[in-house]
Amino acid sequence: MKYGKFLPEKGTIGFVAPSFGCNIEPYKTAFDHSAEIWVQKGYNLNCGPNVYEGSGIGISNTPEKCAEEFNKWYVSKENDVLISCGGGELMCGILDYVDFDSIRQAEPKWFMGYSDNTNLTFLLTTLCDTAAVYGPCAAAFGMKPWHESLNDAYRLLTGQSREVHGYAQWEKESLKTEENPLEPYNLTEEKILRRFPDADCQMEGRLLGGCLDCLVTLCGTSFDKVDAFNEKYKEDGIIWFMESCDLNVMSIRRALWQLEHAGWFKYTKGFLIGRPLCFGEELMGMDQYRAVTEVLAHYNVPIIMDVDLGHLAPMMPLVCGSVGHVKVEGNDISIKMEYR
């Protein structure tokens, strides 16, 4: 597994929009404010041509132009790390034009994003053997003040830390609007980990995963090289981390069934499941917990649910491809990431 160089002091952050750009509120103002913060911290900015673009459908621009931007910015010497502008809907459409061969041969570089960015964070890891950060997108760094999770992401990118912990509270309803684009997280809910089995545990394995909506879309395509990845790292085993956006509880159940029957989980050491955006939903007796555990329990590994991952902020940034050392004690979770 290859790892990018850390963001140095006075280094340059590249911003790209392989999914949505920051062309509308509240994202535009939030991104602009984040840029001011980065400059105040002493960093330079290297913005791609799609950062403020909104002419695409479900992404910032045409699939070809989104891929062209990413291809150029990834191999460019003019930036040290890359942060995606935002999530979106149809980043899968750019994959036919992403030059994974050139990226595989290039000097590794940190790329960070989540949600629709799974299409790159997951494939950089499984296709290019290059670690990526499943973490906040660019506009999130515009909030004031920064939440602890944003500082965690910053410390990962700069190499100051390789460990994250769960947070005390989470946001069920955001207060961020077009009129109030810099609002911090509205932390009203207490974090309560759901553990299956209900016991303290430790696990170690390669961290792999992302947004389940995207993972199930990639499954079975020409971009699906999970089997080869599993075989390469079977001695380490895999800790799967997953969360969901548009999926209801039935869709979550079907998606996990598909990934299981595709053989993705064959060397699993455990599962970290983030709070789904459909949190609390129940359909015909199916809830978010049964949707997961009734598919995965037979692996007889820890399943930790309602973890700080994904669309119900805050989220722990995780290095996809690193070796995770996960410790769960009571309602606390810590993850140390080893870069090997």
CA 188 to chain centre: 23
Percent of the chain scoring above 90 in pLDDT: 100
**Which residue range is the domain that position 262 belongs to?**
169-338
Handedness of CA 139, 101, 1, 46 (dihedral sign): negative
Inside any domain, residue 1: no
Among the candidates 145, 165, 185, a domain finishes at 165
Q: How confident is the model at residue 277 (pLDDT cuts 50, 70, 90)?
A: very high
Using a CB cutoff of 8 Å and minimum separation of 24, what contacts does 191-194 make?
Answer: 191/166, 191/167, 191/306, 191/308, 191/331, 192/306, 192/331, 193/166, 193/304, 193/305, 193/306, 193/307, 193/328, 193/331, 193/332, 193/333, 194/289, 194/304, 194/305, 194/306
Percent of the chain scoring above 70 in pLDDT: 100
Inside any domain, residue 5: no
Among the candidates 124, 144, 165, a domain finishes at 165
Structural domain count of the chain: 2
Q: Are residues 136 and 206 in the same domain?
A: no
Read off the CATH number of the domain in which 225 is found. Answer: 3.50.30.60
Q: Are residues 222 and 303 in the same domain?
A: yes
Q: Are residues 191 and 294 in the same domain?
A: yes
Are residues 202 and 320 in contact, defined by beta-carbon separation less than 8 angstroms?
A: no
Inside any domain, residue 138: yes
Q: Are residues 101 and 243 in the same domain?
A: no
Distance, in Å, from the CA atom of 151 to the CA atom of 147, rounded to the nearest integer, reads 7
Inside any domain, residue 4: no
Q: Are residues 180 and 207 in the same domain?
A: yes
Kindly list the distances between the CA atom of residue 272 and the CA atoms of 202, 262, 330, in Å, as whole numbers in the listed order.
12, 19, 15
Read off the CATH number of the domain in which 130 is found. Answer: 3.40.50.10740
pLDDT in tens, 86-140: 999 999 999 999 999 999 999 999 999 999 999 999 999 999 999 999 999 999 9
Q: Stretch 137-154: mean pLDDT, rounded?
A: 97
Mean pLDDT of the chain: 98
Inside any domain, residue 48: yes
Q: What pairing do the DSSP bridges indicate for beta strands 169-171 and 187-190? A: antiparallel
Q: Are residues 192 and 152 in the same domain?
A: no
Q: Are residues 77 and 98 in the same domain?
A: yes
> Global pTM?
0.97
Q: Are residues 311 and 229 in the same domain?
A: yes
Q: Are residues 182 and 306 in the same domain?
A: yes
Q: What is the DSSP letter of 297?
A: G
Q: Are residues 209 and 296 in the same domain?
A: yes
Inside any domain, residue 3: no
Among the candidates 146, 165, 184, a domain finishes at 165
